[in-house]
Amino acid sequence: MSRRSLLRAFGAGAAGATLAGCGVPAAYVRPGDRAGRDVSATDRTLRFANWPLYIDTDDEDESKRPTLDAFTERTGISVGYTEEINDNDEFFGKISPALMNHQQTGRDLIVISDWMAARFVRLGWVQEMDRTEQPNVTKYLDPQLRSPAFDQGRTHSVPWQSGITGIAYNRKKLGREIKHTSDLWAADLRGKVTLLSGLDESFALLMQGNGVDITRWTRDDFHTMCDQVEKLVKEKHIRRFTGNDYIKDLSTGDVLACQAYSGDVIQLQADNPEIEFVVPEEGAELWAESLMIPNLARHKRNAEKLIDYYYEPEVAAELATWVNYVCPVPAAREVLASAKDEETASLAEDPLIFPDDAMRRRLAIARDITSEERTEFAKKWNSVVGL
């Protein structure tokens, strides 16, 4: 199940532009209108909406989630946990009517990809968190994730998990290493390469291959990248554009190299150690999917406590052993390294969970596509992809 979901054709881009742009002032919620009456002190509950397969489960009973159960036992706060987010745009459509009309969503905590989180911040649809209630977040949040362009200082969002968009390839079948994004365009890979179809998921790595600083890319950078990809499509070099189904193509050998997510490759490597993941020399995109508290949430304080709980290194380590994405709590590495179980301890040395310094120097968080840019860029990208 993809947690870096597709930007669904042009309609998704248009929806974002319509709401976030200058056309619908009523969609924006002013800071003074975002907080609701917090009943956390008397109602020890909260509702947490997340993606499927994105939390630890009990080995014998998949309906049980050990870290959540431990939180409830410690605090007395029960968590109504739902796996209801299957696509960023679909979820946006589900809760946007309430948010734009200044109504409760029925959820106290949500997890969405940062490019979508940027839209929520621009619209004023999420509340600023009280960091005095979150000492673990303040102390342990990965410095590289602390201040994305869309949310300076991470005042409205806290990463749930992070990841890298890079290149996966079958080294044995290809017979050589891939070190650069441009290696994907080698003649012997014609028809054996896939790229991600989602605009927000794909553009940063491709720009980095051109030497672009993705923290401040320009309109010209975007159109240069699109022209290059369009030429490769016409030459039939790119087999197709995918969602998470690139996993199947790579596993069967129909594809030898592809744009991929680090967390997926860890799972692929368990069945096929010949699959490798590379952060190109020019760099790769570091991204996150973040916890946010919607406007008028009735259990804000309880939600803040749960967020801070997951930033305890021991809890973050337990979650990391299950989801295998980049852990946003580097201190969890020491916890895993000291584990008696050899397989668990080995996760501390996996650079796709805890990137080393050399890898981190090649990682960057992309500047978000603004509301003014989105309609034009989505239309252009979708014409290249064929959506």
Over the stretch 96-118, which tens digit does the pLDDT of each residue have? Answer: 999 999 999 999 999 999 999 99
Distances in Å between the alpha carbon of 60 and those of 64, 71, 237, 314?
9, 20, 46, 22
Per-residue confidence at 63, pLDDT binned at 50, 70, 90? confident
pLDDT digits (tens, 9 = 90+) for 117-155: 999 999 999 999 999 999 999 999 999 999 999 999 999
Per-residue confidence at 8, pLDDT binned at 50, 70, 90? very low
Residue 47 vs residue 23, higher pLDDT:
47
Backbone angles phi, psi at 79, to 5 degrees: -115, 120
Distances in Å between the alpha carbon of 9 and those of 369, 379, 381, 387?
16, 9, 9, 5
Q: Which has the closest alpha carbon to 287: 111, 128, 122, 127?
A: 111
pTM of the model: 0.91
Per-residue pLDDT at 3: 41
